[in-house]
Amino acid sequence: MFDSTKVRLGIAPIGWCNDDMPELGAENTFRQTVSEMALAGFTGCEIGNKYPSDPAELKKALDLRGMTIASRWFSSFLLTQDYDRVRKDFERELDFLAAVGCDRINVSEQSWSIQGKQDVPVLTGGHRHIMDDSQWDRLCTGLNGLGKVARDRGFKLCFHHHMGTVVQTAAETERLMENTDPAYVFLCYDTGHFTFAGENPLAVLEKYVGRVGHVHLKDMRLPVVDQARRENWSFLQAVRNGAFTVPGDGGVDFDPIFKLLAEAGYAGWLLVEAEQDPAKADPLEYAMMARRYIRAHTGL
């Protein structure tokens, strides 16, 4: 199916310690986290709040475990901050990632985001900011600028659609894709966030598989998502209550997604990302569950 020389498997640390709610998994150390990732059979990861801030220290710890950094989240504020300030912050992130041998960066526009607000419903109530035409122009122009900076340094800027942000729905993702330069802006395709938003993740992928620069494999417990909608949960409440899980443990049909990515010649990372409470979902157990599922369904 996939070309094993071009596709690598990684996992995010968010199953061990949550960046938005660091009390979830506070007991799990960086070394335990990356050791368990390697033990489960993954060779890459993203960066969490427990990771060393010194790239040399980080790279040494990962090298010892046969691991590398696949990508890193970057919060952009292109709608509410001066572009030059955002670019300088972005370039600092690229400096760090270059030092650890990474060539992907996942950008999420965090202006007016409600994803980190404990008591603000993410699916109901109209709390999420909806951009007007001028804001769309500003966002897309800014992303093109950052994407060129990234490309000139050998990186791919991969835009991360995300619950609670200004780009949450399929229509918003499509508008962003249509109004950014495909040479500079790629898609961080996340199966879980599209499903959580009530969208068909396969339908979006069919339109933009050629723009995918990074893949987040996230499954959803659909009864919990339905409850989140009925009871007006925030994004963080949904995380705490188990809306997210690893591939094969929820309601997302990954087989046609894998097939489409493989047929399109996708090259890059397939990265498991399932933010769960580690007190309820043992991170190593679920990492191994995800690895078995990916092997069974892709041969990787």
Predicted pLDDT of residue 125:
87
Question: Hey, what are 80's tokens?
Answer: 């509410």
What are phi and psi for residue 188, nearest 5 degrees?
Answer: -90, 100
Q: Select from 19, 182, 216, 243 the least CA-distant residue to 110.
A: 19
Residue with tokens 């897309």: 140
Residue 190 is inside which H or E element, if any? strand 185-190
Predicted pLDDT of residue 116:
94
Predicted pLDDT of residue 180:
98
Could you list the pLDDT tens digit for every one of the 300 residues in the chain? 899 999 999 999 999 999 999 999 999 999 999 999 999 999 999 999 999 999 999 999 999 999 999 999 999 999 999 999 999 999 999 999 999 999 999 999 999 999 999 999 999 889 999 999 999 999 999 999 999 999 999 999 999 999 999 999 999 999 999 999 999 999 999 999 999 999 999 999 999 999 999 999 999 999 999 999 999 999 999 999 999 999 999 999 999 999 999 999 999 999 999 999 999 999 999 999 999 999 999 999
> Strand 244-245 relative to strand 44-45: parallel, antiparallel, unpaired?
unpaired
Predicted pLDDT of residue 1:
86
Q: Select from 191, 198, 205, 187 the least CA-distant residue to 273.
A: 191
Question: Hey, what are 143's tokens?
Answer: 């992303």
